[in-house]
Amino acid sequence: MSDKSDFISKSTEVPLLPEESISNALKVLKSGKLFRYGENNIEADFVNRLEVKFAEIIGCKYAVAVNSGGSAIYIALKAAGIMPNEVVALNVFTLAPVPGALENSGAEITLLEVDKNLTLSTSELEERLQYCGAKALVLSHMRGHISDLQEIVRICDKLDVILIEDCAHTMGAKYNDKMVGSFGKVGCFSFQTYKQVNSGEGGILVTDDPDIAAKAILYSGSYMLYSQHESRPSDEFFLKYRSVIPNYSLRMNELCASVLGPQLEQLDDRNSRWREIYSIINLGLSQIEGVTTIETEPAVLMAPTSIQFHIDEVEKIPKIINKASDLGLKIKWFGSIEPIGFTSNSNHWEYISPTVAISPHLVGLCDIRLPVTLDNSECQEIVDIISQSIRKDSH
């Protein structure tokens, strides 16, 4: 990693696709049948098999594959019955596609504060949800940080608030040995390139609710071919909704699904290695003066693909970022005045009214992507670069 350009390239590495994924993709391409449905019968089956497998992994009855994680959240809101101008609460530490999905649904968005460990504050959650009149809570497990799900479920159940989990960064994570994504009425996942498994784009939602499952399948664009879904409720649920639910054409295609199945077989091993990488770097960061690391609840088994930390002297962050870049490491900053790349905060989402100032817990928050291909020496070098960049004599 002494070569800056080599490390910058490595920082966006993803695991190579398994040979079976490549073989599957070639099979789809050679067939020419990239659409998940057949007009007269099931002519393609990769999306169908993916849904069955994913529901089994998360421990839910149904799964519906779509074209992105954002689409999964949008369809979840629609299928859960959220109407335009109804209030949907969302924790303020999240990624732009999440409030984007809420805005697309026509919901009125209320942002909720997070604590210093980037999880949803529960001390005043019941009061806040009552005050804003929330019909639903979209709980974003942003960057893999998982809130007190037991308490959040209790509060949502008490207030009859629909809980939807955004699990884009937590595929395979657990809370008290239960899969994250199975706590809410709906769990939504992403298969975008830098997630635990990768099809470039793609998403999936899971639920135990047969009405939501049927509506999600119809919203996703099944036409009247919903019987080609193996992971689905009985026909009676579709008969209730098929004439009143529009087709939004948000389906997953066969090519995306063809590369995902074999990767799911590697999910546990990938997450195990990611946890090792995270632990090495987090331990190193905790020993650097001027850095505050994020604490994780004992009940949480993470599935981290990145790492976050607070830099205490916020005014020095731009210089620290520049120094690290000179040494070959890209640090992202959630407190930046301008949105950069994938990174933004509530100040940048002017479509939310009233505009919400950036959370004080995000002002000094920095972020590094962790490719699962890192070896232990490279993890230590990342720590060394951050330490060198923060040292007072380097400014």
- CATH number at 80 reads 3.40.640.10
Does 251 share its domain with 282?
no
Question: Average pLDDT, stretch 212-234?
Answer: 97
How many C-beta atoms lie closer than 10 Å to residue 2's C-beta? 8
Q: CA–CA distance from 200 to each of 19, 36, 53, 62, 303 (Å)?
A: 17, 17, 19, 23, 19
**Quick one: pLDDT band at residue 11, thresholds 50, 70, 90?**
confident
H helices of the chain, in order, are 4-10, 19-31, 46-58, 69-79, 97-105, 125-132, 149-159, 210-220, 235-241, 254-264, 267-286, 317-326, 376-390
Does 273 share its domain with 256?
no
**Measured between alpha carbons, how far is 349 from 222 in angstroms, rounded to an integer?**
33
pLDDT digits (tens, 9 = 90+) for 90-142: 999 999 999 999 999 999 999 999 999 999 989 999 999 999 999 999 999 99
> How many residues are present in the chain?
395
Apex 61 CA angle, 174 and 99, nearest 5: 60
Does 297 share its domain with 277?
yes
**Quick one: pLDDT band at residue 5, thresholds 50, 70, 90?**
very low
And the tokens for 192?
A: 């975008």
Point out which residues pair with 174 in neighbouring strands: 179, 301
Of 335, 339, 363, 297, which is closest to residue 141 (Cα–Cα)?
A: 297
Among 228, 263, 298, the domain-final residue is 263
**Measured between alpha carbons, how far is 107 from 85 in angstroms, rounded to an integer?**
5
Q: Give, as one character, the DSSP assignment of residue 182.
A: S
Does 213 share its domain with 336?
no
Which amino acid does the sequence have at 191? Answer: F
Does 243 share its domain with 389?
no
- Using an 8 Å Cβ cutoff, are 321 and 331 in contact? yes
What is the overall mean pLDDT for the chain? 94
Q: CA–CA distance from 288 to each of 73, 293, 315, 334, 339 (Å)?
A: 38, 10, 18, 20, 27
Does 338 share its domain with 276?
yes
Among 215, 233, 263, the domain-final residue is 263
pLDDT of residue 39: 82
Of 371, 391, 392, which is closest to residue 7 (Cα–Cα)?
A: 371
- Using an 8 Å Cβ cutoff, are 185 and 216 in contact? no
**Quick one: pLDDT band at residue 1, thresholds 50, 70, 90?**
very low
DSSP string covering 38-94, please? -SSS----HHHHHHHHHHHHHT-SEEEEESBHHHHHHHHHHHTTPPTT-EEEEESS-
Does 241 share its domain with 300?
no
pLDDT digits (tens, 9 = 90+) for 158-181: 999 999 999 999 999 999 999 999
CATH number at residue 272: 3.90.1150.10
Does 241 share its domain with 302?
no
Does 291 share its domain with 325?
yes
Angle separating helix axes 46-58 and 254-264, nearest 10 degrees: 40
Question: Average pLDDT, stretch 329-346?
Answer: 93
**Measured between alpha carbons, how far is 264 from 257 in angstroms, rounded to an integer?**
11
DSSP string covering 224-249, please? T-GGG-SSS--HHHHHHHTTTS----
Does 371 share its domain with 224?
no
**Quick one: pLDDT band at residue 392, thresholds 50, 70, 90?**
low
Does 10 share its domain with 28?
no
Does 244 share its domain with 122?
yes
Q: What residues make up the domain containing 110?
A: 19-263
Among 263, 282, 305, the domain-final residue is 263
pLDDT digits (tens, 9 = 90+) for 40-73: 766 679 999 999 999 999 999 999 999 999 999 9
- Using an 8 Å Cβ cutoff, are 151 and 177 in contact? no
What is the reported pTM? 0.96
Question: Average pLDDT, stretch 250-278?
Answer: 98
Q: How many domains does the chain have?
A: 2
